[in-house]
Structure formats: C-alpha cells, structure tokens
Amino acid sequence: MTTPYPEHQQGQNPPPAAPQPEPPQQPHVAQQPYAPPTPQQQGYPAPYQQAVLDPAQQRQWGMFAHLVPLIAMVLSAGLLGFVGSLVIYVMYKERGDFVRQHAANSLNIQIITGIFLLISFPLMLVLVGFVTYFIALAFAFVLHIIGALRANEGQLWTPPFTPRFVS
C-alpha cells in the first residue's frame, strides 16, 4: 500500500507536530471616551506662545513704549505718534505687566494728544489753534520723557491729566 506522501512509509511514525505558540495576551485597556484630535495630532503646528519677558527686558520695552511714539511724534508733527504706542502695546501687552502698563500709558497719552490736536485744527482759523496745537505736543513730549525715565528706573507710573482709555 502506498501512501500519497512518500516520506510516510509503512511502519514509520509520522513526525511530531511542532508546538503552536500561544497567542500573546492583550492587556486589559479601559475604553476611553472619544476625544476629538488635537490640532497637533491633525498635523497643524502648535500655537505660538510668547514667553514672559524678564524684568530688564520689561523695563527696556516699557522705555521704548514711550520713546518710539515720541520720535514718531516729532518726525510727523504729532500725527503718527500713536502708531508706535499701538504697535508696542499690541505686541507686548501679554509679555509682562510692567511693559503692558507703560505701553497702555503711552497709548493713553497719544489718544488724549490726538483729541487735543483734532480740537486745535478748527481753532487754527482763529489763530488760537496754533497755540493749543503746540501745547498739546509739548504736553505729550514731556509726559513721554517722564514715562521713559520712570520705565528705565523700573517704576510704575500713571501720567497726570490723562484718562485711562486703555488699561
């Protein structure tokens, strides 16, 4: 009698079967509730977070918050000083309380100066506006110098005769 497999001849025992490995045990994992993927998991970059400035840098930017609008005000006859104050306020308001307060003070000085300059324009028809225009610029100039000096010394300062439009 022939078998279909020549290696298994009559009288020979078939080879022993190889032991089957046991399937690996899966650790029990608790089912987590569904949470939507984060932007980082979806491939979006992480949002940029600005670091808080150290005290020396806050003093420096607090001083710049007064000097930049002062220079812009001098170069533009008082019309563009608010741009420097606004840019520094928006860029650095979340990087430290000291720089935020000085930038807000600088912006408040520029807002009140702008109001007085707008009032001075129609008054120029009766020649009084030229005097009020110069007084408004001199007032802002002095307040920015004092603010820059106080910021450089590390002192918090609120300018006199200036309402708090921005805080």
Report the SS3 class of residue 66: helix
Check: pTM over 0.75? Answer yes or no. no
Give the chain's domain count.
1
| Position 41 in a domain | no
Q: What is the rounded CA–CA span in Å between residue 7 and residue 72?
A: 100
| Position 28 in a domain | no
87-131 per-position pLDDT tens digit: 999 999 999 999 999 999 999 999 999 999 999 999 999 999 999
What average pLDDT score do residues 73-81 get?
87
Tally of residues, the chain: 167
Among 54, 68, 69, 58, which residue's Cα sits nearest to residue 154?
58
Range of the domain at 72: 55-153
